[in-house]
């Protein structure tokens, strides 16, 4: 009876993900490890590999408004259109999922984020906000305290593309984008940043240091911390990661690790809650180098095959 009470009190943790990816299981397993009473929910499309404790929901049952958004979306980026558009669509999918399943509060996060705290307890830091962002622009780790605000967010995103006056915000951003020959452009962070500007008092910031703790926005971004080999200098103590401030070398607890882009190869090792040894670093560097320099030469079928190989051999 008491166990059921804690389960009912714990906020659900929601991932939205497409396809089988070698790193997904590490994010799911860490979420479960530190949040045994939370529902671990995966709203997925074509995901066949996930742990038995995961509640799996077919994404296609929650994509009606996402398909409407697809009709007005205009691609203004050098990045892959489907991937970039899905970063927008996930908010519409989340909104439908929360409504249909009558979930009022949750944590939703990217599938390349490892959790190292009990998020139900830690969410109290942000109780006065409607939801949270990282760097006022990224939804990589979002505490949702009022599901109605996600509905407002999706209306805002839709209007950014469908309303001529609002669309000028994105259009001007793209016209003045200085790196037209490299990666980047308009993405959901561009839109979330605009939403933040109009709703600052309602949105919490997870990258703030509170009582000696913070949430890692990306392991390859400093956040005022010491860097080592292009990532934060991270040490583990009792299974928990810590970084060090540049200004005074103060040790800061990292409540999560966001292994974005090529740093996803760190997830297997960081999920073990220990420091990485020399041989493991060599393996990670090799895989990151291959991804950055050769993966773009592969066609879609070859990429899918490579993903299956990575899963099979436990990367």
The number of residues in the chain equals 315
Q: Is 225 left (phi over 0), alpha (psi -120 to 50) or beta?
A: beta
Q: List the one residue out of 112, 78, 75, 72 whose CA is nearest residue 92.
A: 72
What is residue 213's three-state secondary structure? Answer: strand
Residue 194 CA to chain centroid, in angstroms? 19
Cα separation, 133 vs 142, whole angstroms: 6
Summarised one tens digit per residue, pLDDT across range 72-113 is 999 999 888 998 999 999 999 999 999 999 999 999 999 999
Give the pLDDT score at 315. 66
The confidence band for 1, taking pLDDT boundaries of 50, 70 and 90, is very low
Give the pLDDT score at 79. 85
Taken in order 41, 47, 50, 53, is the CA torsion positive or negative? positive
> For the chain, what is the mean pLDDT?
92
Tell me, which fold does domain 2-205 have in CATH? Spore Coat Polysaccharide Biosynthesis Protein SpsA; Chain A (3.90.550)
Average pLDDT score over residue span 150-170: 96
Cα separation, 179 vs 185, whole angstroms: 8
């Amino acid at each position: 009876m008491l166990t059921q009470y804690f389960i009912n009190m714990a906020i659900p943790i929601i991932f939205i993900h497409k396809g089988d990816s070698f790193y997904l299981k590490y994010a799911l397993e860490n979420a479960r490890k530190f949040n045994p009473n939370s529902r671990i929910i995966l709203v997925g499309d074509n995901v066949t590999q996930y742990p038995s404790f995961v509640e799996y929901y077919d994404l296609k049952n929650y994509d009606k408004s996402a398909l409407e958004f697809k009709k007005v979306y205009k691609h203004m980026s050098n990045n892959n259109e489907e991937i970039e558009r899905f970063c927008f669509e996930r908010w519409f999918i989340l909104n439908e999922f929360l409504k249909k399943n009558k979930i009022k509060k949750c944590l939703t996060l990217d599938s390349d984020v490892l959790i190292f705290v009990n998020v139900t307890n830690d969410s109290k830091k942000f109780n006065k906000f409607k939801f949270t962002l990282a760097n006022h622009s990224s939804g990589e780790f979002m505490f949702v305290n009022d599901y109605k605000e996600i509905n407002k967010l999706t209306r805002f995103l839709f209007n950014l593309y469908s309303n001529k006056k609002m669309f000028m915000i994105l259009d001007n951003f793209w016209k003045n984008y200085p790196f037209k020959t490299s990666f980047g452009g308009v993405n959901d962070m561009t839109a979330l940043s605009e939403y933040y500007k109009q709703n600052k008092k309602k949105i919490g910031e997870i990258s703030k240091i509170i009582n000696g703790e913070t949430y890692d926005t990306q392991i390859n971004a400093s956040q005022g911390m010491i860097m080592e080999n292009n990532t934060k200098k991270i040490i583990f103590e009792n299974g928990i990661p810590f970084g060090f401030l540049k200004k005074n070398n103060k040790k800061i607890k990292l409540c999560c690790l966001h292994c974005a882009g090529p740093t996803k190869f760190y997830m297997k090792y960081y999920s073990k809650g220990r420091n990485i040894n020399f041989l493991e670093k060599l393996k990670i560097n090799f895989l990151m180098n291959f991804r950055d320099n050769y993966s773009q030469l592969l066609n879609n079928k070859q990429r899918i095959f490579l993903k299956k190989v990575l899963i099979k051999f436990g990367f």
